[in-house]
Structure 1
Amino acid sequence: MDASELLNHLNGGALDARIEEIYTLTGEGRDTVRERLVDLVAHFADEFPGLSAALFTAAGRTEMGGNHTDHQHGQVLAGSVSLDMIACGGPDRSGVIRVRSVGYPEVVVALDDLEPRASEYGTSASLVRGVARALTDRGYELGGAALCVFSNVPGGSGLSSSAAYEILIGVALNHLFCSDQLSAVELAQIGQFAENVFFGKPSGLMDQMACSVGGVVHIDFADPSAPTLSRVDVDLAAAGHVLCIIDSGADHADLTDEYAAITNEMGAVAACLGAEYLSEVDPAAFWSRLGEVRQLTGDRAVLRAVHFFEDNARVAQQASALAEGRFDDFLGMVTSSGISSAGHLQNLYAVSQPAQQAVGVTIALAQKLLGGRGAVRVHGGGFAGTVQAYVPVDLATDFEAGINAVLGDNACQILSIRPVGGAVIAG
């Protein structure tokens, strides 16, 4: 359909049911989403007049269990959240993919040049190029497209803006050129390929899976080509808590070397024990050879391996606690995970910037405001970025105000889990 027809559908309420299905919002919340979509379509019509238009979304994600376990083919518990990226776009058969994201430079990728470029590492262009390359490698013929993107997933926030972007581009191209044949899992794998090979970041698969699949999922990456997924029903409201993501005020966008060091050091321990990934190592063998492993890999690598073994085992226990309604047990394990991340994984601050410890300060502030209730821990990759807190409903207003009074307006965001990750909204 053209943009004017899509606008008529939106303004007339024809897409309200679809919005409610994706965002689990009604009333004013649904209307706010609709208005945001209307603004996007109108923007697309101005930027690319005459093209057909479809609407797409990809969710941000929150990591609920398993901190830095995915890249070692371990287990994670993750959920898609109510912040997302949306795109409006259509095919133009130009041989070029154009992406205009509000607040960012235009991305232009020619489909006859899909080799990785070192000069593009760390850029949005690399992700578009990588996703397009993965689709052509699978035998799909891309013909060029124009997309406009709006996002309320803050960059460098620990909510996986890069993974959401990869999934958004994948969902759009999958719809425009692949007849929606690729599954959510395949789109996640494509996103990881783009991030690893083209963006230059050695990420695991958790971020992309959570952004793509939706809801809360327990994922086992023992075979990353065919990860095992189990959905976990979670009702935070029924448990009397809200999920808060707190911006510590320090950007984690330029910390690739710190993240790579975790991957490399865990890999070194695995190699020392005859494996490629720590998930393949028997923890008993690790402990029985601790002296040898420590001598060959160093103390920090050993401690990071300890974190992996503990946090990886904790994931299944957290999933079971949520599924069985044992929310207090889940909160206790969130706290334990946070302690392990701080003491063993050591991802609260970058050793290259020891004076910058915004994450640690944010955790201390949240603990003070919680007064022994709820739970708080580092969120996502760490070193900067965000902190995650589960806050009792009766404390939520004061907690949010207390965080914002110190860290600035909107530093604390109360989010919800949404059941849909990457999706076509209309078109």
Structure 2
Amino acid sequence: MTVVERARAAFAAAFGADPDGVWAAPGRVNVIGEHTDYNEGFVLPVALPHTTRAAVALRDDGLVSLASVQHPGDRVELPVADLAPGRPGGWAGYPAGVVHELRDRVPGGVSVLVDGDVPSGAGLSSSAALECAVALALRDLAAPGLTPADLVDVARRAENDFVGAPTGILDQSASMLCTAGHALFLDTRDRSAVQVPFDLAAAGLALLVVDTGTTHDHATGGYGDRRRECEQAAGRLGVAALRDVPDVAALAVLDDGTAEGAVLLRRARHIVTENARVLEVVATLRGAAGPAAIGPVLTAGHASLRDDFQISTTELDAAVAAALDAGALGARMVGGGFGGSAIALVPADAVDAVTGAVTTRFAEARFGAPRTFVAVPSAGAQRLA
């Protein structure tokens, strides 16, 4: 059974009718550029082959009805007029937030059946994939004038304002805009986007993703703290965003001898150096050195996330160290932090060896077994049927 057939069958079982169509949006992994998006900086994600599918049909009774293959028995149904931030919550909040953003376009309501294979809580943007699949479906069914950039904003507002997760636009932009075989070089300030060729297989390389199995939640905890700290640092520096800081030397004013000043210095230093790392990786990929040369930059990014931004975990550090010890050219944690996944740039013929080394390191540390897969740069959101 294909993914389209599975989604159609699940929709029919849930709602007793056929959907108007099936849409898919991918998760993403960020090659480099972590936490720079809400600081108006640069990012370089690729879309994953893993997708969230949404089988969708318009209604005429004013209800939003949401069902999920991954959450059987957790059907959610309420009037469009009753949608409000936090209502509904849980997984249903993400598609409901998109419907809420487009409620004037779908006053009659909508039925949505969700299915997918983007790992949840792994730092691979499962929430953005869900939002973007539903946003594209509602665009095609009820709001044809909306552009891909409009849909990025719809999905981001659903996550920020409805669910309450203070993310930037990286995840939704990657899910909507990426193309197969490329990384998306995105300037989050002016929204300019350039597709950078990223054919690792042709260079004899692979991008190995290690899902540590430790989950995170952007709507709670440290992610929001980091965003507030970045805003505080920018305010003290007198700039609109940390994107505007020219170099690390300009951060010295933050080191005022207080504990708070020391924290703000570390947070700002990560953002300034991470923006520089994105530009370095893009220049390298466009040059003659080839993608193998970006490895040390990835590893430097992990050190910055671990030491300055302080969002890594014991499991993520172990995955990175084991991969490097086994021959990875570079490795780092990815995503919002406090759990989730790491990536390792490895020679294609060393994938099994690196995977084995990480698995062994986790077993020795009595961690749960990691999930690994090779990330193949894939296409963004699209209609499947």
Q: TM-score, normalised by structure 1?
A: 0.82
Check if 1:244 corresponds to 2:208. Answer: yes
Partner Cα distance (1:99, 1:140) in 2:
18
Check if 1:128 corresponds to 2:91. Answer: no
Q: CA deviation at 1:365?
A: 2.0
Partner Cα distance (2:369, 2:48) in 1:
20
Match of 2:338 in 1: 383
Q: CA deviation at 1:108?
A: 2.6
Check if 1:396 corresponds to 2:351. Answer: yes
Q: CA deviation at 1:52?
A: 4.1
Q: 1:259 to 1:410 in 2, by over 3 A?
A: closer
Match of 1:412 in 2: 372
Check if 1:340 corresponds to 2:304. Answer: yes
Partner Cα distance (1:165, 1:107) in 2:
16
Partner Cα distance (2:252, 2:343) in 1:
35
Match of 1:361 in 2: 318
Q: Gapped runs of 5+ residues in structure 2?
A: none
Match of 1:308 in 2: 271
SS at match of 1:302: helix
AA partner of residue 358 (structure 1): E
Counterpart mapping for 1:214-253 below 5 A: 214-215=178-179, 216-223=183-190, 227-253=191-217
Q: CA deviation at 1:265?
A: 0.8
Partner Cα distance (1:205, 1:144) in 2:
27
Match of 1:98 in 2: 65
Q: 1:265 to 1:254 in 2, by over 3 A?
A: closer
Contact residue 65 and residue 78 of structure 1 kept, 8 A: yes
Contact residue 186 and residue 193 of structure 2 kept, 8 A: yes
Check if 1:421 corresponds to 2:380. Answer: yes
Q: CA deviation at 1:288?
A: 4.7
Match of 1:115 in 2: 84
Q: CA deviation at 1:120?
A: 4.6
Aligned length: 374
Q: CA deviation at 1:296?
A: 8.4
Counterpart mapping for 1:136-215 below 5 A: 136=103, 140-179=105-144, 181-215=145-179
Contact residue 213 and residue 370 of structure 2 kept, 8 A: no
Q: 1:412 to 1:51 in 2, by over 3 A?
A: closer
Contact residue 57 and residue 86 of structure 1 kept, 8 A: yes
Contact residue 305 and residue 312 of structure 2 kept, 8 A: yes
Q: Deviations over 1:259-303 (max 9, x none)?
A: 1111111111101122342113343673352434x6484212211
Check if 1:73 corresponds to 2:40. Answer: yes
SS at match of 1:289: helix
Partner Cα distance (1:129, 1:412) in 2:
31
SS at match of 2:238: coil
Q: Deviations over 1:73-129 (max 9, x none)?
A: 111111111111112222222212222111222233421123323x655x2333233
Check if 1:323 corresponds to 2:290. Answer: no
Q: CA deviation at 1:232?
A: 0.8
User: What is the aligned-residue RMSD (CA, Å)?
Assistant: 2.2
SS at match of 1:382: coil
Partner Cα distance (2:58, 2:80) in 1:
13
Q: Deviations over 1:164-209 (max 9, x none)?
A: 1111111111112113x32222211111111111111111110111
Partner Cα distance (2:267, 2:17) in 1:
54
Q: 1:409 to 1:361 in 2, by over 3 A?
A: closer
Partner Cα distance (2:255, 2:370) in 1:
47
Q: Gapped runs of 5+ residues in structure 1?
A: 1-33, 350-356
Partner Cα distance (2:284, 2:156) in 1:
29
Q: CA deviation at 1:408?
A: 5.9
Range moving further from structure 2, 212-221 or 397-406: 397-406
SS at match of 1:204: coil
SS at match of 1:103: coil
Contact residue 143 and residue 177 of structure 1 kept, 8 A: no
Partner Cα distance (2:329, 2:350) in 1:
10
Contact residue 59 and residue 111 of structure 2 kept, 8 A: yes
SS at match of 1:298: helix
Contact residue 265 and residue 304 of structure 1 kept, 8 A: yes
SS at match of 1:345: coil
Q: TM-score, normalised by structure 2?
A: 0.90
Identity %, equivalent residues: 28
Q: Deviations over 1:311-331 (max 9, x none)?
A: 112212211212335213222
SS at match of 2:35: coil
Contact residue 101 and residue 150 of structure 1 kept, 8 A: yes
Q: 1:394 to 1:145 in 2, by over 3 A?
A: same
Partner Cα distance (2:296, 2:273) in 1:
14
AA partner of residue 417 (structure 1): P
AA partner of residue 165 (structure 1): L
Range moving further from structure 2, 87-96 or 163-172: 87-96
Q: 1:410 to 1:142 in 2, by over 3 A?
A: farther
Contact residue 265 and residue 297 of structure 1 kept, 8 A: no
Partner Cα distance (1:111, 1:255) in 2:
23
AA partner of residue 275 (structure 1): V
Contact residue 92 and residue 145 of structure 1 kept, 8 A: yes
Partner Cα distance (2:236, 2:187) in 1:
23
Q: CA deviation at 1:246?
A: 0.6
Match of 1:353 in 2: none
